[in-house]
Structure 1
Amino acid sequence: MGHKELPNRDQLRDYNYAVAGHPFFHDSAGTMCVADGELFIKPCTQSEIDFYQSANRRHPEFANLMPLFMGSLMLSDPAAEGIDEAVAGVISEVGDIKTTKEQIVASVAAQIANAPVELQPADDVTWIPTKGRKIKTDKAVVLENATYGFKQANILDVKLGVRLWADDAPVEKKRRFDKLSSETTHGNLGFRIAGMRVFRGSDDASELDEEGYKIYDKDYGRLSVNDSNVVDEFRKFVFNETAGIDRELGKAVCAAFVRDLGRVQEVMARHESRMYSTSLLFVFEGDGEALRAAIEENNALADSANGKSSLDRTTKRIDSGIGLDDEDDDDFDELEASLPQIYTLKLIDFAHAQWAPGQGPDENILTGVRSLERIFDEMAQ
């Protein structure tokens, strides 16, 4: 999964470009990205910013499961439908806007250092379903774009949990979310497919968008996926011969996700937290030819760095970490940065997340992670 550190100047090379007022595009959730860029700008509440800050400051192992946190921003007009110059800058602890790279690095470091130990509960307000509308806020979290560097990224968003509401949720929200859980795979498996994007995921061109992707929206996981067909539905994300992802290659992808899902379990078992409506984001190279080429290059560079001959380069060796000494962190980080993207797995969405000292691991979320590991392990066989 790589190592998480405070953003350095190289990591921030596109950051100043963003805060200077570069146009962003929005996805259906209101998220803004620099097109094909490394930044991921997500409108959010202060509590989500707090969770990112405290994770990076006090729980670095847990933060390693999350997208790289680059800081927080203030939006110029969060209610606007189209925001061209949305990002004003990094907001410091005293409210100043920081725009130079040096100021950004210093401000991010200060915010993480001063992150609160305990998060304050949200104000009790009457719950009104958003129905997919953008969040109304003047704040945003800046993250590394998990889909950056892929030729054709296949993306799967899996919402975690049997219970989907936080303790301070209004009664009506609890009732609706409990109904959603009981009617979907949340109830027994602890997760639901919230959305999926698969490159050339159909032989029927009419089912593909203008970029060649088949899109599975939020209703797919609610209405089409159930306990009995869930494994077959996950296969649609990975095994796709139309895009050149054959059985051998797909099994290798699944095995890689199994390994990382195991890592997620290990880390979460060592941390006491409570998260609701958090997701796991699965991303891998959806173009079979590009995926094979990336695997070959990863394996060749890994062998070279380790002083080994380039033998047994099979698709089962899907990531550059295999065969490298974990003690050579600096060499590994430098090598990893030069490698083409193959896959990534990240824990995302922390609007309803907080640390829970003394309460033990988050079994509600872990139920879903364990179910996902079993499914991907079955597909890897």
Structure 2
Amino acid sequence: MLKAPDHQVAGHKALGGKLGPLVDDSGRFYKPLQGDERGTKEVAFYTSFSSNIKVPDHISRFFPEFYGTQLVEASDGSGMQPHLVLQDLTFNRVNPSVMDIKIGSRTWAPEAPADYKQKCMKKDRESSSLPLGFRLSGLQIFESGETGFWKPDKKWVQSLPADEVRLLLKKFVSSNTSKAMDSKPDCAFASIVYGGSTGILSQLLELKAWFEDQTIYHFYSCSVLLMFEKELASNGKSPRSEIKLIDFAHVYEGRGVIDHNFLGGLCSLIKFISEILTSPEDFATDGLLEDIQIAVLVSLERVVAL
């Protein structure tokens, strides 16, 4: 029995007769293929990536498992349609807090059509993508068994400026999650979720080390998914902190060149999380934001030079 995912925080949803991804009860995620070249490109990426011996195992674990494609009944009632069959990343998780972060100062590839570039550039300018090198695409934060999840409107989340992006990164790992943006998060779970040898920061640094060398792929409009289980953290247990990369409809050949656009955004996110771990009581200082913006500008200059 296929159904709409319970923990999807961004993208098109299979609700109200609309086309969107589905999940089954065995841990598989069915993503409808986009009808244009994006669907073909995403299948090509997964096929290439899953068989690429140049990608080390410790890096491939950050990507969803790929099970091929399959015709299934589409959620919009349009009949049997081709779907990517992937790993359901929240399968067997209990009340996961999830954050979708789109990486890169620009979310469009040089080869993209002009009208698509214009649409992406507008979103990049109106969000934190240009100043920070990443933007939040959506999130859910588990509050309690009584109140459930806080799942703010994704359009609001995507338009947040730099200071409020950092505030949400703090709220994500706090015990006193509040819908009010002027409330001060306590970052009670920052050390156990973001920190440690198996925490989110360590995983991001491992991914960064690969991106500093890899020239196989260039990732545009790709997201890093952050996940953990608050109830485990509250009980002093491992919160199952994990990152995964998702959305590969805009991946191009690297042609021997480092992906500075993705790497710059990844470094910016790492700097934000590192600063939360080292100074959880302080809000972002002008100096921190200035350092991040300089790093992003340097990355952009490298991209333009290419």
TM-score per shorter chain, which class? 0.7 to 0.9
8 Å contact kept, 1:158–1:279 = yes
Computing the radius of gyration over CA atoms, which structure comes out larger, 1 or 2?
A: 1
The equivalent of 1:5 in structure 2 is none
Q: Return the match for 1:349 from 241, 247, 251.
A: 247
8 Å contact kept, 1:146–1:344 = no
Q: Secondary structure at the match of 1:238?
A: coil
8 Å contact kept, 2:138–2:158 = no
Q: Return the match for 1:363 from 245, 260, 282.
A: 260
Please give the alpha-carbon distance, in whole angstroms, between the structure 1 residues aligned to 2:61 and 2:193: 21
8 Å contact kept, 1:285–1:343 = yes
Structure 2 portions without partners, runs of 5+: 14-19, 34-38, 179-184, 279-306
Q: Return the match for 1:33 from 1, 13, 23.
A: 23
The equivalent of 1:249 in structure 2 is 189
Per-residue CA deviation, residues 275-318 of structure 1 (Å, 9 max, x unaligned), is 2110001110022xx335573xxxxxxxxxxxxxxxxxxxxxx5
The equivalent of 2:40 in structure 1 is 46
The equivalent of 1:264 in structure 2 is 207
Is 1:226 matched up with 2:220?
Answer: no
Please give the alpha-carbon distance, in whole angstroms, between the structure 2 residues aligned to 1:234 and 1:285: 15
Change (3 A) 1:82 1:200: farther
Is 1:23 matched up with 2:13?
Answer: no
Q: Return the match for 2:62 from 61, 65, 74.
A: 65
The equivalent of 2:281 in structure 1 is none
Change (3 A) 1:139 1:361: farther
Count matched residues: 249
Change (3 A) 1:349 1:242: closer
Coordinate RMSD, CA, aligned: 2.7
Q: Secondary structure at the match of 2:162?
A: coil
Please give the alpha-carbon distance, in whole angstroms, between the structure 2 residues aligned to 1:356 and 1:52: 15
Structure 1 portions without partners, runs of 5+: 1-21, 87-137, 296-317, 319-340
The equivalent of 1:278 in structure 2 is 222
Code of the aligned partner of 2:47:
Q
Taking structure 1 as the reference length, the TM-score comes to 0.60
Please give the alpha-carbon distance, in whole angstroms, between the structure 1 residues aligned to 2:259 and 2:153: 27
Code of the aligned partner of 1:33:
V
8 Å contact kept, 1:161–1:186 = yes
**Pairing of 1:1-381 with structure 2 (within 5 A):** 22-25=1-4, 28-29=12-13, 30-35=20-25, 37-44=26-33, 45-58=39-52, 59-61=54-56, 62-75=59-72, 77-78=73-74, 81-82=76-77, 138-200=81-143, 212-223=148-159, 225-241=160-176, 247-255=187-195, 256-272=199-215, 273-287=217-231, 290-293=232-235, 295=237, 318=238, 342-358=240-256, 360-381=257-278
Per-residue CA deviation, residues 31-87 of structure 1 (Å, 9 max, x unaligned), is 11125x411111231221111121121143243321122222223x54x5158x96x
Code of the aligned partner of 2:64:
P
